[in-house]
Structure 1
Amino acid sequence: MQTPNELKYAASHEWLASDGTVGISDFAQDQLGDVVYVELPEVGRVVTAGESIAVVESVKTASDIYAPASGTIVAVNEQLSGNPELVNSGPYGDGWLFKLDVTEEGGDLMDAEAYTAANG
């Protein structure tokens, strides 16, 4: 399982980069299986850390995606509408979900070591 050290992780398996980019972890995409659809939030939406704001559907299940920080959605990954499998093939790259203009990080974010220990 890949867990890049430069990211912060929520217990609900979202990651947050320093530039506000958000996605789901390698562990989460592996647990979901083949992703077939991604419902992304609207650009401009103001969100609160911990709020359910998106959905990732796989052949196994649908999972809510929670905001790992409070802020405003400033971009969404439009590539996912035609290629939802990018979440599986590049969870830390082309499979990112959305970007936030972060006003406050969620209180439960972990570093890579703590996230790996919790999901090892």
Structure 2
Amino acid sequence: MKVTKTLLLIALTVSLVSCDENSVRDEDIDLMAELECQARQLKEQRFQVANELRLRGDSLMKANIPLTEAQKAEEDSLKQTLTEQTGLLATRLTFVMDSLFDAHYKSIEQREAFDVAVAKKLDEICK
């Protein structure tokens, strides 16, 4: 009877630890997928802004109208903001990835499985 209780306790402990590990893994996947989705969206935003600025510049050039100082300042400010956001996100992504790899995903197989899971989650959440 005592052996049965001990085995049951061990089995319960192992299952709880396993659940915790799966929970942590799911949280890691969600975090990386969310950060990568933000990176994709920011990239799209940068391309959209670049196209808009290029179209405005072309239109003004065809009309032989120069950009005003206010327009130049607005463009520079927008470019600076996007550059800063990109840098901050890249730094955060790198830090999180390095931290996760150091803590949980040390082998190549673990990293590859993690990458596949993140890609799958990314496809689900980032359209």
Q: Same fold (TM over 0.5)?
A: no
Higher RCO, 1 or 2 (CA under 8 Å, sep at least 6)? 2
Q: TM-score, normalised by structure 2?
A: 0.23
More strand by proportion, 1 or 2? 1
More helix by proportion, 1 or 2? 2
